[in-house]
Amino acid sequence: MAINKKQASTWVKIVVVVVVIAFAGGSILPVLFGAGRSQQQPAAGSEVAETLERVASNHIPSIVGGIAVLESEPESYTVMVNLGNTYYSWAAQLRDAFGPGSGHDVPMWIAAGAHYERALSLEPGDPNVKTDLAVTYFYSGQVLRAIELAEEVFIESPEFAPAYFNAGIFYRAAERQDDAIAVLERYLELEPEGDSAPAARQILADIAATPSVPEGSAEETLLPSQP
């Protein structure tokens, strides 16, 4: 889908607002997007604000630079994906810093997903981008959308191993244990010595021991399909 200059400008301004609010302290967006995900919110205070600012400072320059490029090249697939990857890394760092129940990471997963969606509207079908988009859906609470997208990757790119590993986690979160087992075994067929092979084997062992997923366990091992 072509993006004209006017459309890109409006969209870029929205992204800038997301960045500025998050950089200012992260207190507004987690409330808007993270409501209902968990009651385990980290205590407000200078330590939280300092961590949010420190993590943001790692990514703001890349995001501001990417947005500047989009002003003149609104159809740049590469820049769109790179922005998605930057937000993805930002979200992952926040999740590591505050844990899975804080909600601070949710706005960044949503921002990453928005960029991946725009990239795929320009050049559909890249299994790396589609798998990363599925991860952003999962972490922003859209488990069924994550599953649907992973299943599209199975059909379009049946040898793309990361999609199977991540789908195992998606299925387990949805309590579809047989499907989780099937895709994790498929991942191990494709990458028996892959980086996530030990995690896949551990999840399979956990499923055998405890059919229902303990909250906040398996979902922490998602594999990004690209840095």
**pLDDT score at 40:** 45
For helices 106-122 and 5-24, angle between their N-to-C axes, nearest 10 degrees: 160
**pLDDT score at 212:** 65
Give the whole-angstrom CA distance, residue 92 versus residue 209: 29
**pLDDT score at 46:** 85
pTM (whole model) above 0.85: no
Low-confidence spans in the chain with pLDDT less than 50: 1-43, 218, 220-221, 227
Domains of the chain, by residue range, sit at: 5-124
Segment 120-126 long-range contacts (CB within 8 Å, at least 24 positions apart): 121/1, 122/1, 122/3, 122/75, 122/77, 122/80, 123/77, 125/156
